[in-house]
Structure 1
Amino acid sequence: MKYIVSLLITSVIIFLLGNVLPGAHITDYFSAVLVAFVLSILNVLVKPVLAIISIPITILTLGLFMFVINAVIILLAAQLVEGFKVNGFLGALLFSLCLSLVQSVAQNLLDKQEQRR
């Protein structure tokens, strides 16, 4: 149940960012749900492999290279989902940064609400 709620919240965030950010475009809410689902799969399957391969450069950049990996994951999702387009690497990087920031805020709000119960 928590995964479904998280997926729906992420899809709302993706839909909003896709309509607000200059480097990204999303056609409809269904595409946003697909992007959220594809991103969750890519984060489980592809991101760990990329993280392991890039350990030396991630250490040299003090972890900042993970933003590059996140942008690559966004670009892969844009290739896989028809209604989601990102204009180049910088657009993917901006989308990734904003998505991570807003997801973090939303997750903190949900955690605080669960603690009150």
Structure 2
Amino acid sequence: MKMLAVWLINAVCLLLVANLVPGIYIDGFVRALVIALALGLVNTFIRPILSLLTLPITVLTLGLFSLVLNGLLFWSVAHFVEGFRVSGFWAAFWGALVYGLVSWLASVMLLSRDD
């Protein structure tokens, strides 16, 4: 049940990000649910592999390259999901950053820690 709540929170946060960050467009709530699922799968399966492969550059940049990696993964999901458009790298970079912060904040505020 908690996983469903996190999924819904992430979809709503994606819609909020589309309204806050110029260059990010989402066609509706159902599309936001699909995008949230795709981002979750990408962050679960692909991001750890890419993080390991880019570890040297991440260490050299004192961890800042992980923000670039988040933006690139956010942008790549837009290429695979119909109805999700990101106009360029910087929109993806800021979109991923805002999405991560808003999603984290909403999860902390809405989900109890007792579970």
State the TM-score, normalizing by the size of structure 2: 0.93
**SS of corresponding position for 2:85:** strand
Distance 2:99 2:66 in 1: 14
Contact 2:75 2:89 (8 Å CA) reproduced: yes
What residue is the counterpart of 2:39 in the other structure? 39
What residue is the counterpart of 1:79 in the other structure? 79
What residue is the counterpart of 1:90 in the other structure? 90
Letter paired with 1:28: G
Percent identity reads: 36
The range that moved more, 102-111 or 17-26, is 102-111
What residue is the counterpart of 1:25 in the other structure? 25
Distance 2:19 2:104 in 1: 20
Distance 2:10 2:98 in 1: 12
**SS of corresponding position for 1:62:** coil
CA root-mean-square deviation:
1.4
Is 2:15 aligned against 1:15? Answer: yes
What residue is the counterpart of 1:66 in the other structure? 66
Distance 1:114 1:71 in 2: 29
Distance 1:40 1:107 in 2: 14
Q: Deviations over 1:3-41 (max 9, x none)?
A: 111010000010121133212011111110000000000
Runs of 4+ more than 2 Å apart: none
Letter paired with 1:8: L
Letter paired with 1:56: P
Distance 1:101 1:94 in 2: 11
State the TM-score, normalizing by the size of structure 1: 0.91
What residue is the counterpart of 1:109 in the other structure? 109
Distance 1:114 1:51 in 2: 28
